[in-house]
Structure 1
Amino acid sequence: MRRVLFTERISDDRNEKSDSIESQHDKLSRRAETEGVTVVGTAVDLSVSGDVDPFQRKSLGPWLADENLSKWDELWVSTQDRLSRDNKHFLLFVFWAIEHNKIVQVMDDPGFNEQMHTETGLLLLHAKALGPAMELKRIKVRTKDSHERRRFTTRWTGGIPPFGYRPVARYVDGKTATYLEQDPAMVKVLQEMRRQILAGQSFFSVAKALNEKGERTARDRARIRKGKPVHRRGAAEGVPEQWSETTIKSLLSDPALLGSKKHKGEVLYDSQGQPVRVADPIFTDDEWQALQAAVEARTRTTVRRVNGTSPLYGVVYCGECGSKAVHKSSFHNPSGVTYRYYGCGNWPKENRCRGISVRAEEPEAWVEVSFLHRYGENPVTERVWVPGSDNTKELDGVRKRISRLRNLYVEGEFDDSPKEYKDRMHALRARDTELAAEPVVEGRWTEKETGQTFMELWEGLDLDGKRKQLIASGYKILIGSKTFHITPEPLPWSEWVERRRRQGAPEEEIASMARALEMVMGTTPWPCNGSAMADDVQSEAPVTPAVPMKATDSH
């Protein structure tokens, strides 16, 4: 009994005009019924280009392996190009089939197998292989030309759309094409991400919030649109991708959020030197500049809080070696009480340090009262980005494109279209002149009142929010041996009283504050700043604020 293996293939190239898999299978099946052979299997390779080696194809390749050669005698294919369009791959397969005594039947070429076994026949087969190979080259050229034509249009050429956008099919100029439009749900997420970064949130905290809410990444959303399960690399299907610090920073720095089209990671520019836009921008120019300034500032920030660290991480430091202090707790079994401490985070690795520590409740209470006493009635301001004008980066890009265009001209790319070269070069030089004439004005942050006092703000902050506000306002606590020292120095009581009286505060309020201070401190305002540390302890410069609000003295 003749044992036959069907071989079917269709390319993923839309420009290739080929039989469908159904049509190929129908031809092979009708022939098999006529000759009464036994079909042992069907190697179906979907979306496989004709230049892929038959031995490397996902479905056909295993049938050609040594362990499966005994399962079949004949290989049937509807047309020669379904076997391969590459002449080298084709001839190697033919010689392999001869060596292993395999019969190859091509439905539209009945004499194919006989030609394999004569020198003249092999010469004819070689000539036949050149046709599909040349056609493959033409297909690739057409595909490349098509991509080149579409590259600088507003069409979306495929792939995973940037987060914030979704693909839509539109009927334009008599044809259906794919474009991008904003996805309202994703735009809302991006606006919230921007708000959090401007408010001083870390990339980590933004990523954590997205993961907790179950927000899908751009890749997972693309899978869902195609009816596929979400999938995290290295995990089982159905496990969604996770946001990370890196993905947040990369996303919020991506010009694709302005609707810019990219190729190989770079923004595409048209002949006039302007970015090619495939969709409406998510952010305005001013919003984008402010976001980039905040991302850059966030990147440079050295004080970051991680899970399980102290409530005042980045505020409390060791007074001897200058290292950040860590929060420690100790459970006292007899009393059932948990004691909390701040201690040097670098001890015993730092030989200059004696492992000093201080009870946590004391500096926490002091710094809160000190902050509110100094700034509580002051207006809260927020940092507002004032856009500048700096075309240096765009100017550099234009000059690089001028250089590339000139090189293409020297290489003969415009021999048949000198006018196109002249027009493009003229437009680029005009843009170069325009950008070079514009002055560089650096963007800057400025302060704007929010209509809220720091007392009102403080009441609405969580523990981490208060920590960040203290850092932004330049607060720093140096711990010693059961002592601590707060910077800036607490506002003298007499000065605070005088300020509140000038502001029209009633005497009852001033007396109430005095009683509150006495309850917290255990003494009348102000004691000696809680510190008995040596005068030669050097305080580091305050950390650069990472949040938009900063308390400043207002008299």
Structure 2
Amino acid sequence: MVRMDKPEVTDYDGCGKCLVGVRRLSRKSESTNSPEKQRDLILKATADVGGHIIGWADDWEVSGATDPLTRPEFGPWLRDEKGPYDGVVGAAVDRIGRNVRDVLNTAYTIHGAGQLLVTADHPGVWDLDDPNQESELLIKALGAQLEHRAIKKRIQDEHVRARGAGQPKKKPSYGYMYVRRVPMGKVDEIKLHPIASKEIRKVARRILSDTTGEITISTECARLTREGVLTPHDLLAVMYGRKPEGKAWTYQTLKQILCSEASLGYLMHKKKPVLGDDGRPKKIAPPLWDRATRDALIKKTAPKPRSKGCGKEARAARGTYLLAGIAYCGSCGERLIVNGQKGYGCTARVRGIITSQHCKPAPTMKMALLDAEVERWFLSEYGKGLVMKKEFDPGTSYAAQIADLEADRARLREDRRAGLYDAPDDAEWFRTEYTRMGKEIADLRKLPERPAGVRMIPTGRTIEDEWRSAKDDAARRELLREFGVKVKLNSRQAKERVIIEGTNVYELVR
């Protein structure tokens, strides 16, 4: 075996045997083809042909069905985007590709360029001009393809079995975590993730309790990213021992989490709940919230028409400037922007806005000075006010339960019309389940319905406490918005340099 203290990567020297080591794994946990084992095989095969490694093309978490040309690390080498090299070396043919087409296309691309193809499961360099070696490569590629198909079939069969048994086989939904008593064993329990569940519940609470229209999916995405809350992708990476990529929260990701039935603790398949023998969704975990809350989230986050005809919600203010979006020019009424001197100023006239041509001289003020003045005014005006926590009460949700049962019953009727329950045993089961659902619906209709609403709970904190504990100016800006604070900046010649206005409400509801 090649000594491990020998440098694994050297410079390209044009010797004719400057090789790129190619490694691939669908999952890093594949023990039979671990990165270390592939490295050792590649180094030995390289030494056997008298070559040396000038770079590594390591594609981890990449399916064998992926075309080598499009693989993140191997693809650029094949497309001549990584500089000169004399060939590639892999631990086996199936690490180059998992089907006949990809292996042969890659092999003949390399051969046609006059480069070398080396794999540890074949002695020496592959000579595709030799019919015997060409046949051997074809047989190995076919074996890899058949093995890949067999693995894929076993995985599909296992997923079908798991769905029938009510067992999860995919990655946990955001807000949840798998508990395994044996490492890499079966999932023994699904629990709420202690951090993610708290964060997503906070998002739901903030959106549902907002009455200003200022807290939306977009603003929550900006807040979560700003506060460093891990996205679902990065959270899974950390949970499985990988480094997070620092991705930002996106509108579609957050909306999917809030509106998905996975939040009710259901086993999901193709974004729909898996139904059990009783015709109801299979529940495998505690819910993040109840159905009534989910229905309220769907309604609250639905696109709303705006005055300018836009069907989507307003975007979150960019940056963390305290007065972004709430400071205006006292002369022309246009919003102030942050200029190059880290101050607020009106640039409407120089931007060619017709209604601002009279704005001379345009007001400007240092950011620190205007921020400090607004802070003093806000705390003196509202600082002693109380902070009230607003909690969304989903109500009894009997109507939602009745709607679910009626949908389940309608689905059974449609299946019966399609002839799915014609057998005697199935017909008896159908009558039993249909009767049970009807009785449950009737019982629910007798119960008094309590509509959804909002209740206020004192927190014992003041508005000044909330201001001082805010993480950044973007969070403080949210406080200003909740009180309807607007700032007008006039030129130095005006009698009042700064005019600040707010609502007459002296309690903060959060």
Q: With the length of structure 1 as denominator, give the TM-score of the two structures.
A: 0.51
> Please, which of 255, 258, 263 is the counterpart of residue 269 of structure 2?
263
Which amino acid in 2 is paired with 1:292?
D
> Please, which of 407, 430, 435 is the counterpart of residue 396 of structure 1?
407
Tell me if 1:169 matches 2:182: no
Match of 1:289 in 2: 292
Match of 2:96 in 1: 83
Match of 1:435 in 2: 437
Which amino acid in 1 is paired with 2:89?
W
> Please, which of 184, 190, 214 is the counterpart of residue 180 of structure 1?
190
- Cα 1:138/1:396, change in 2 over 3 Å: same
Tell me if 1:94 matches 2:107: yes
1:84 Cα offset (Å) = 1.6
- Cα 1:269/1:204, change in 2 over 3 Å: farther
Which amino acid in 1 is paired with 2:264?
L
Asked if structure 2 preserves the Cα contact closer than 8 Å seen for 1:268 and 1:275, the reply is: yes
Which amino acid in 2 is paired with 1:63?
W
Asked if structure 2 preserves the Cα contact closer than 8 Å seen for 1:257 and 1:283, the reply is: yes
After superposition, residues 22-33 of structure 1 pair within 5 angstroms as 22-33=36-47
Match of 1:457 in 2: none
Match of 2:282 in 1: 276
Identical aligned pairs, as a percentage? Answer: 19
Distance 1:384 1:160 in 2: 26
> Please, which of 107, 110, 116 is the counterpart of residue 103 of structure 1?
116
Task: Look up the SS of the partner of 2:215 in the other structure.
Answer: helix
1:145 Cα offset (Å) = 1.8
1:134 Cα offset (Å) = 0.6
Which amino acid in 2 is paired with 1:55?
L
Asked if structure 2 preserves the Cα contact closer than 8 Å seen for 1:83 and 1:90, the reply is: yes
1:23 Cα offset (Å) = 1.7
Which amino acid in 1 is paired with 2:445?
V
Distance 2:92 2:253 in 1: 47
1:396 Cα offset (Å) = 3.1
**Worse overlay, 215-224 or 254-263:** 215-224
Distance 2:244 2:87 in 1: 37
1:128 Cα offset (Å) = 3.2
Distance 1:330 1:398 in 2: 63
Which amino acid in 2 is paired with 1:77?
G
Tell me if 1:128 matches 2:144: no
Distance 1:301 1:216 in 2: 27
Distance 1:257 1:248 in 2: 12
Task: Look up the SS of the partner of 1:30 in the other structure.
Answer: helix
Asked if structure 1 preserves the Cα contact closer than 8 Å seen for 2:42 and 2:90, the reply is: yes
Asked if structure 1 preserves the Cα contact closer than 8 Å seen for 2:19 and 2:51, the reply is: no
After superposition, residues 450-465 of structure 1 pair within 5 angstroms as none
Match of 2:244 in 1: 228
Match of 2:487 in 1: none
Structure 2 runs not aligned, ≥5 long: 1-14, 308-312, 316-327, 332-391, 458-478, 485-510
> Please, which of 210, 216, 221 is the counterpart of residue 229 of structure 2?
216
Distance 1:425 1:179 in 2: 35
- Cα 1:265/1:402, change in 2 over 3 Å: farther
1:270 Cα offset (Å) = 1.5
Task: Look up the SS of the partner of 1:385 in the other structure.
Answer: coil
Which amino acid in 1 is paired with 2:139?
A
Match of 1:148 in 2: 160
What per-residue deviation string (whole Å, max 9, x for no partner) do you get for residues 469-514 of structure 1? xxxxxxxxxxxxxxxxxxxxxxxxxxxxxxxxxxxxxxxxxxxxxx
1:266 Cα offset (Å) = 1.1
- Cα 1:188/1:433, change in 2 over 3 Å: same
Which amino acid in 1 is paired with 2:40?
D
Asked if structure 2 preserves the Cα contact closer than 8 Å seen for 1:15 and 1:139, the reply is: no
1:135 Cα offset (Å) = 0.6
Distance 1:463 1:27 in 2: 63
Distance 2:108 2:314 in 1: 64
Asked if structure 2 preserves the Cα contact closer than 8 Å seen for 1:7 and 1:75, the reply is: yes
Match of 2:75 in 1: 61
Asked if structure 2 preserves the Cα contact closer than 8 Å seen for 1:15 and 1:143, the reply is: no
Asked if structure 2 preserves the Cα contact closer than 8 Å seen for 1:272 and 1:424, the reply is: no
1:178 Cα offset (Å) = 6.7
Asked if structure 2 preserves the Cα contact closer than 8 Å seen for 1:3 and 1:74, the reply is: yes
After superposition, residues 352-371 of structure 1 pair within 5 angstroms as none
Asked if structure 1 preserves the Cα contact closer than 8 Å seen for 2:45 and 2:119, the reply is: no
Asked if structure 1 preserves the Cα contact closer than 8 Å seen for 2:398 and 2:445, the reply is: yes
Aligned residues: 363
1:94 Cα offset (Å) = 3.1
1:264 Cα offset (Å) = 1.9
Distance 1:301 1:32 in 2: 62
Task: Look up the SS of the partner of 2:187 in the other structure.
Answer: strand
1:265 Cα offset (Å) = 1.6
Largest Rg, 1 or 2: 1
What per-residue deviation string (whole Å, max 9, x for no partner) do you get for residues 43-90 of structure 1? 322222222222222222222224668x33343323221222201112
Asked if structure 1 preserves the Cα contact closer than 8 Å seen for 2:263 and 2:289, the reply is: yes
Distance 1:103 1:82 in 2: 16
- Cα 1:175/1:301, change in 2 over 3 Å: closer
What per-residue deviation string (whole Å, max 9, x for no partner) do you get for residues 5-51 of structure 1? 14332321589674322222222323434554343333322222222
Tell me if 1:5 matches 2:9: no
Distance 2:295 2:247 in 1: 30
What per-residue deviation string (whole Å, max 9, x for no partner) do you get for residues 274-316 of structure 1? 22222112345xxx43673586489699999999xxxxxxxxx
Distance 1:465 1:67 in 2: 53
1:330 Cα offset (Å) = 7.2
Which amino acid in 2 is paired with 1:46?
W
Q: With the length of structure 2 as denominator, give the TM-score of the two structures.
A: 0.55
What per-residue deviation string (whole Å, max 9, x for no partner) do you get for residues 83-134 of structure 1? 22201112223333343333323332227724x2144543443233221111
Structure 1 runs not aligned, ≥5 long: 233-240, 308-327, 332-381, 411-420, 453-461, 468-555
Distance 1:79 1:298 in 2: 51
Asked if structure 2 preserves the Cα contact closer than 8 Å seen for 1:203 and 1:249, the reply is: no
Distance 2:52 2:183 in 1: 51
What per-residue deviation string (whole Å, max 9, x for no partner) do you get for residues 186-232 of structure 1? 65566666666676635643665896694836536556655425321
